[in-house]
Every structure is written in structure tokens, then in C-alpha cells.
Structure 1
Amino acid sequence: MAEWQKTLLIDIVNLIGGGTPKTSKAEYWGGNINWLSVKDFNNENRYVYFTEKTITEEGLNNSSTKLLKRDDIIISARGTVGELAMIPFPMAFNQSCYGIRAKEGIDNTFLYYLIKNSVRKLKAMTHGSVFDTITRDTFANIEVAIPDTQMQHRIAKMLVAIDDKIENNQRINNNLEHQMETLFRSLFVENVNSAWQEGVLSDLGTIVAGGTPSKAKPKYYAEHGIAWITPKDLSLNKSKFISHGENDISELGFSKSSTTKMPAGTVLFSSRAPIGYIAIAANELTTNQGFKSVVPNENIGTAFMYFLLKWLLPTIERMASGSTFKEISGTGMKSVPVVIPDDKTIAQFNDFCSPIFQQQEILEAENIRLSNIRDALLPKLMSGELDVSDIDL
């Protein structure tokens, strides 16, 4: 560490500003240039591969947005600050982000992890009266220590090995998910049996709302108590299976609120702000009032209900109401129209999905462990506390 050079973050990066082509100019949009905004970030991957919108060469040339190169870095700088990713191929981006390009002598991937380790400091130094903002001055107030190029490569390689394993597990799970979705569409959408009966969602399971113990009563919450899930937990945790949220509640808190204990296999469905976060309870748990979850009937099963709710999401959104934000009520959720397949076809689908669900849950658990290991190693590697010069990579 004594040989590492102390410097300011601003001195080792080139910051690049983004921009938005005029939305009134149709000829600026829908081209072959990816245009990245904050909503495109995906914290599960080091790289951002997909963007919701694209722009044309004309849009690029007639706006302040710039093209980032492969292995440049992008950070969200306004509103939701500190989301971080690397660029796999040239992309443009909007003004709510900064592009970051390593200066000579700085390894791009090492820089990515260095900034990732500094995100908490960056967030603590945000400006803005309306919403948090990272400015160029923010980067000028972050001191970092930089090893020689060889050590940068070694540290980056060590962290990349972990992230590559995480991303590979995600690719496997995504592929498995696609296979199950394809079978669901084939069995229950494209080849609906005319003999199947029409019904409503409550015919297939019990709709369960949640509740929140008083936040003014600390004794209603516990460090290791009853699992209690909020929509925020599902926004932060992209896993399909969830066992605990940010907070647990105590037995006293449970008894003093309207929340309900639901068994493992319950399909959680956020009913407001936003509608449509979907996850599966990995164990007994409770939720706040932002859910209308479904405990599937025994003959229906978790897998069928999970994919059914994903398929029904557009219908549920249309049925929602509210002036401040859209919400689907308990009555509305119960009355969502469905076609009820025969038990044999549902069982066929559930039997196909059961071992896949088990594998997905195993891979998600492994990714959580790997993420925890990476996050524990990151500050130690970036401070020089851990010496990796003799590790065979």
C-alpha cells in the first residue's frame, strides 16, 4: 500500500456529458444506436447490454449526447445516483448520467471497481435542492489510492472472476425461465382447450393483503424475526425467490398489525407503486399493504400461478384505479378473469417446472453468497489491505 499513489478521482478520469435528442423529431429516434438512460441500468450485471430506446445518426449529431466506447463506464448522476455499469459496445446516453473514461495508466475494469467502492462517498456528496445530483466537483472531492498497472490488472481479474460466475448463473436462470415461459404459452395461451371453464383469480387461490406495524413502536420490529416484505425489497432484490426483506417484524408487531403469515410457495404480487413486482416466498413470510399476494390452491401450484400472474399483468394494470398512483384492490384482484385449465394439464406444467425452480433457487442463493464475498473483498482490495501479488490468477 505504501507504493500506491494517492490522487483525486477526478485526476484519473475523463467525464463525458450526455444529452437527449429532441423528442419532437421523429427522425432522431428508432435508429441503430443504443441510447442509455437510468432505467436501463441493471445492477445484476457489470455491462449494460440493452436499452429501452435507440437513436439515429442524425439524432446523435444534433444533440449533446456522445458515444461511449467499449469498456467505458457510465454512472447515474441525477435522481437515483450511483448506479454503475460498463459499456459493451458504443452507446449514447442522456444527461442524467456521466460517461467515465479512464486516463492513461488506469485499467478500465479496475476503475469500474474503484468507483463501485467509492459510490457511498459519491452519494454522500451529492448536491441539489430538488433531487440528488453528482457533479464534476463530486469527483474532485474523492481521494483514492492507485497501485501500479500490473496490480490493477490482478485486482480487476480477481473481482471479474466472481462477477463472471454470477452473470453466468444469471444467464442459466434466464434461459430456464424462457423455457418455462414458452411451455406456459404453448399449453395455456396458444392452445386453450374449449372445454376449460371461465372463472376469476380467486377460484385458483386465496388473495392475501398485508399490513404494516406502527413504525413508532421499535418493539414491533426485530433483527431476526418474522420475514416482512415490501415492494421496495423487490425493487432492490431482483431474485425470483425471496426469504427476507430489509426489516423483520416481531411477534408483537405481527399481532398488532393486519399483516398475515403466508406459506412458502406463495406468489407475491405488488399491487401499487408499482403494480407487478412478482416473486415467490421461499419460506413463511408476511408483507406490507402494498401487496395482493396469492396462496395457490393445492391443485393449482406455485409454478402455474407465478407464470399466470406474469401473463395477467397487463389485464391487472388495466383494472387498477387511483388518482395519485394506480392500485389494484383486493376485490379487483379477486375478480381478475381467468380461464381454468384441467388439473392434468396444470400438473404436467408444474412437474416440468418443479426441478427447474429448485435449480433456479440454488443458483440465486449461490449468487447472493458470491455477491457478499465480492462486496467484502472490494474495500480490502481497493485499500491494499489484501495483497494479491502472490496469488496465482
Structure 2
Amino acid sequence: MKFNYRSVPIGELCQGIYDGPHATPAPSDSGAIFLGISNFVNGKLNLSPSSIRYISEEDYPKWTKRVTPKAHDIVFSYEATLNLYAIIPDGFHGCLGRRMALMRPDEDVVDYRFLYYHMFSPAWREEIERYKVNGSTVDRIPLVSFPSFRVDLPDMRTQKAIADILFAIDQKIDSNSKVNDNLQQQAELLYHERFETVDRDKLPVGWRIVRLGDVATISKKSFNPAKEPEMLLEHYSIPAFDEAHFPVFEPSTAIKSNKFIVDDSCFMISKLNPTTKRVWKPYCLTENAVCSTEFIVYKAKSQEITDFLYSVIDSASFSDFMCSHVTGSTGSRQRTTPSDTLAFELVLPNAEEIAEYQGIVSPMFEQIKCNATENDRLKRLRDSLLPKLMSGEIDVSGIQL
């Protein structure tokens, strides 16, 4: 710790540390947001419409008796799933969920962003291990322990400089992610307007109705890690999709089951629980790209229509088809049989129309790949800088942002 840092109990840096409700309210179609553990994604709150649960405005006062979250509060989990943190954004209207609490930083003595980033530092993880209670079913941190957690605190100017550096990186990551979401939505809308709304009884000249199996095949070329030499794999998994929409790079010795081999001519969709759409056009940043066997891997019979067919499986009509062809009795383990998907009927335009469409969307898909790759680099940069900034190993006194 640098000489101008002082060790301070976090209780002295907060106006209060508040527990959330210990029960779950009745759901509502609208009203106030009821936060859950699933809303924590990569250190932020995912408040997209599809991820939000609501409680009624009539119930809202009951569930905010202990605390009403407001902007700059730091919300966190303290039981079962530990090490989840996020900042309450401006304009938030909602309440905490079970096993959640929040800290309200005293912004006269600590920059709330600095305190938030400190929670991702090795020093904070050591405090977690120090106070963690291993229960018979779940681990937890007694909420009464949190005020005793110690923070190595520099002066306010240094706090703000550190927070500014890390926040600038996160803002660029957020900006890239928003651009990618927008590009994806534009491509989906363009496909829908051009090909899903067309009258199938009055198709333009040269257009026809085909089955997916007429224009694409399912690739099952597999990789057995037990039979191959050790190598670094570019692994497209369900968790990697859900966490960051980016592959994980890991040694083949860390992978225990067979995978499908993919290349840049592939496009794929998860057959597991198709109500949650997971469609991926692999980036293939290396020559050793593989994916989970929970994905159905397609290849166009003519590579000239690959991006068009990717849009087909990314469409709402294909998603509905997948959901109507599931097996399994429980919602947690329903799957679509890959061969059944080849019966899906689609409108196949003439070559000129496909070329025009791909001329628009293919650059979009390439930009999505570039932004996702940049985000991965930025995240690794942030994660490498954070402990060095927090410990004072990197001196920020001369930095002007």
C-alpha cells in the first residue's frame, strides 16, 4: 500500500448498508422493477425488457420499507452467489430482491465509482474470504460483517483519477455493445421486412419456398480432446454466449467432452431451451474453433448465401419453429431435435436479391465481430489495470483526463 493510502472500514465510507427483503413479491405485468440475481451481468444491471420482473405500484412501498435504491448506490449479493456488484443507475425505480443488499456511499469522503471498482480488487476478495461463512447448503457473508471490511483509500483526487480511467474503459465497452445491439436489431428488422412479411402466394419472379435442408446441412464434425494433442481452443459455449457473447480461450486439456469443430462458414443456434434464443456466427479468430454440442451447426450448401441463412435462423419465425419442436418435459432441459429444423420452410429470393441483402448486412456482421473483439481486449486491459491502480502500483497523480 502506498504511503498516502489509509486503511478505512467501509462502514465509515457509507451512509448505510441496507438489507433487502427476505421474500419474493407477487409478480406484475408492469410497475416497479424487482431486482434478482439474474439481473447482474458483468458488473452491471441488465435491465433490458426481457430480463425485468415487476411488482405492482401498490406493493412497491411494502418492498422498500428497509431501503429505496437510488442512483450511485452499490447493490450486491451476500448469500449463495457471492461477488456480484453493480451500481444503481439514474432513474431506477424498483426494489432489491432476496439475498441482496446495498451500500450507500458517502460521496463527501469516497468516490462511489472508486468504491465499486475496489470490489473487484484482490484486496476485496481477501476480505470476502476472511468473513465468508460456509453453510451446509450455501455460502454467505453475514451482513453485519460488511461495515468491518477494510478499504485502502487514497485522497479524493486520486480516487477520482483511478475511477475515471476504469470508467472510461467501461464506457467504451458499453458503447461498442450498444452499437452491436443496434446493428443486430437492424439486420433482424431488414430480414423481417424483406422476407418474412412477403405474401407466399404471390412471390416475385425467381423467388421460391424451400426447406432449410434444401439449402443447408448440419455439420457434426467433432473434436475429441482426449485423442488430440494439447492445444489452445477457441471455445463457443452456452455460458460464454450468455456472459459476454464471446468465445473462451482455454487449453484442450480443460475440456472433458467432445465438441463440434466450426469455421467461418458456419452459423449456429442452441438446441437447448430454444425459448432463450442463442444464435451465433462464430468469429473464428484462430484455426482451433470449437463449440458446445448443445449448438446445432449449419453450413450453407452454397457459401454465397451464408449470411442470408444466418439471418434465417436468427429470425422470429425460425425461433417460433424451434420452440414448437421441442422434446423434454421440463422447461430447464428442453431441446429441439436438430434434424427437425431442416424441415423449416423459408422464402428463398433470387440471387440478385440475396446479394443486395448481404451487401447490407454482411458489413454489419463484420463490425459486430470487430466490436466484440475490441471489447474483449478492453476487458482484459481493465482487469489487468484494476489491481495495480487500486494498490497504488500505478501512480495516477500526473494523469489528466
| Short-chain TM bin | 0.7 to 0.9
- In structure 1, the residue matched to 2:173 is 166
Where structure 2 has 5 or more consecutive residues not aligned to the other structure, the ranges are none
How far is 1:210 from its partner? 6.6
TM-fit CA distance, 1:266: 1.3
More moved, 305-314 vs 76-85 = 76-85
Moved more, 297-306 or 348-357: 297-306
Equivalent-residue separation in structure 1 for 2:30 and 2:297 (angstroms) = 40
Aligned to 2:353: 345
Point out the more displaced range, 297-306 or 324-333. Answer: 297-306
**Structure 1 stretches of 5 or more lacking a match?**
none
Superposition pairs for residues 208-219 of structure 1, below 5 Å? Answer: 208-209=219-220, 213=224, 217=226
Structure 2 CA distance for aligned equivalents of residues 295 and 42 of structure 1: 32
The counterpart of 2:189, out of the listed 178, 182, 186, is 182
Q: 1:120 to 1:238 in 2, by over 3 A?
A: farther
- SS of the residue corresponding to residue 281 of structure 1 reads coil
Query: What residue number does 1:247 align with?
Result: 250
Compute the RMSD of aligned alpha carbons.
Answer: 3.1
Separation of aligned partners in 1, 2:193 and 2:133:
50
User: Residues 320 and 30 of structure 1: is their aligned pair in 2 closer, same or farther, counting only changes over 3 Å?
Assistant: closer
Distance 1:122 1:345 in 2: 60
Q: Return the offset for 1:117.
A: 2.2
- Give the match's secondary structure for 2:135: coil
1:1-393 matched pairs, under 5 angstroms: 1-13=2-14, 14-19=16-21, 22-23=25-26, 29-43=28-42, 46=44, 48-50=46-48, 52-63=52-63, 66-88=67-89, 89-90=91-92, 91-103=94-106, 104-117=108-121, 120-121=125-126, 124=129, 125=132, 127-136=134-143, 139=146, 142-194=149-201, 195=203, 196-209=207-220, 213=224, 217=226, 220=228, 222-224=230-232, 226-239=233-246, 242=247, 245-249=248-252, 259-272=259-272, 276-283=277-284, 284=287, 285-298=289-302, 301-311=305-315, 312-323=318-329, 325-393=333-401
- Work out the CA distance in 2 between the residues paired with 1:265 and 1:79: 41
Q: Is the 8 A contact 2:25 2:55 kept in 1?
A: no
Partner deviation per Cα, 1:332-355 (whole Å, 9 max, x = no partner)? 233334343433332221111122
Which residue identity is paired with 1:386?
I
CA distance in 2: counterparts of 1:212 and 1:142, whole angstroms? 47
Other structure's SS at 2:217 match: strand
Please give the alpha-carbon distance, in whole angstroms, between the structure 1 residues aligned to 2:356 and 2:105.
Answer: 53
Deviations 1:4-24 (A, max 9, x none): 11134455343222235631x
Query: Are residues 301 and 10 of structure 1, via their aligned partners in 2, closer, same or farther at CA, if it must alter by over 3 Å?
Result: farther
Q: Please give the alpha-carbon distance, in whole angstroms, between the structure 2 residues aligned to 1:293 and 1:149.
A: 53
Offset, 1:49: 4.5
Q: What is the TM-score with the length of structure 2 in the denominator?
A: 0.82
Deviates more, 1:276-285 or 1:14-23: 14-23
Cα distance in 2 between the residues matched to 1:128 and 1:238: 33
* CA positional deviation for 1:330: 2.5
The whole-number CA distance in structure 1 between the counterparts of 2:54 and 2:257 is 47
- The size of the alignment, in residue pairs, is 377
CA distance in structure 2 between the aligned counterparts of 1:200 and 1:122, rounded to whole angstroms: 58
Q: Tell me: CA distance 1:193–1:114, structure 2 relative to 1, closer, same or farther (3 Å).
A: same
Distance 1:230 1:179, change over 3 A: closer
Relative to structure 2, which stretch is displaced further, 290-299 or 178-187?
290-299
Greater Cα offset, 182-191 or 268-277: 268-277
| Structure 2 counterpart of 1:165, one-letter code | K
1:162–1:258 distance in 2 versus 1, CA, 3 Å? closer
Change (3 A) 1:112 1:322: same
Which deviates further from its counterpart, 289-298 or 204-213? 204-213
